[in-house]
Homo-oligomer: A and B are copies of this chain.
Amino acid sequence: MKKFLPIILTTTVLLTGGQTMAQSESNATEEQAKQVIFGFGELNPYGKYFTGKSYLKPITTTNGVPMYNVTFEPKCRNNWHIHHKGGQILLVTQGRGYYQEWGKPAQELHPGDVVNIPPETKHWHGAAKDSWFTHIAVEVPAKDGSNEWLERVSDEEYNKLK
């Protein structure tokens, strides 16, 4: 049986609080990413909506609240997208990354951060340029819910981030 001892950097930083953590303090390596709690999974079948490689591990798909572990390699991010009807909740478990809503500055994410993505909100999320990044994605159930995938996050936009 495989056992491992990843060191997970955690923080009490809240998204509503100041983001004063030094940028590299929660960075994660590929080795840590592959051993992340709740699993690394397989190459993401939704890869065409991502820039770079990401990995998807279903955590539970029964019982009404689907949850997935999503791991992004450094620089990987998903396209701008909108969850219709039901939102999504992100629970950051490892590494350093970003969440950005359209028209707002990107928010740096660290382990322990929680993001409530309301429905009908254009946004993206993904890794920092020098860190692997993993979050649990919890789908908020909604009748006739759907995802609308939009344009890529351009290198110009992304490269402004630390």
Chain A interface (Cβ < 8 Å from any Cβ of B): 1-13, 18, 20-21, 25, 35-39, 59-60, 62-65, 67, 86-87, 89, 91, 93, 111-112, 114, 116-118, 136, 138, 140-142
Contact = CB atoms under 8 A, between A and B. Distances in A.
6 contacts: A3-B21, A37-B111, A39-B112, A59-B114, A63-B87, A63-B89
Given A37-B93, A64-B141, A7 B5 contact: yes
A63 B3 CA distance: 35
A91 B141 contact: no
A4 to B, nearest CB: 6
How many copies of this protein are present in the complex? 2
Contacts of A87: 63-64
Nearest to A116: B63
A interface secondary structure, majority = loop
A65 B83 CA distance: 15
A60 B89 contact: yes
A87 B140 CA distance: 15
Residue among A5, A11, A37, A87 with the most chain B CB within 10 A?
Answer: A37
Contacts of A112: 37-39
Given A7-B7, A10-B35, A141-B141, 17 more contacts: A1-B18, A2-B11, A3-B11, A6-B8, A6-B10, A10-B37, A37-B93, A37-B111, A38-B114, A60-B114, A63-B89, A63-B116, A63-B118, A64-B86, A64-B141, A64-B142, A65-B65
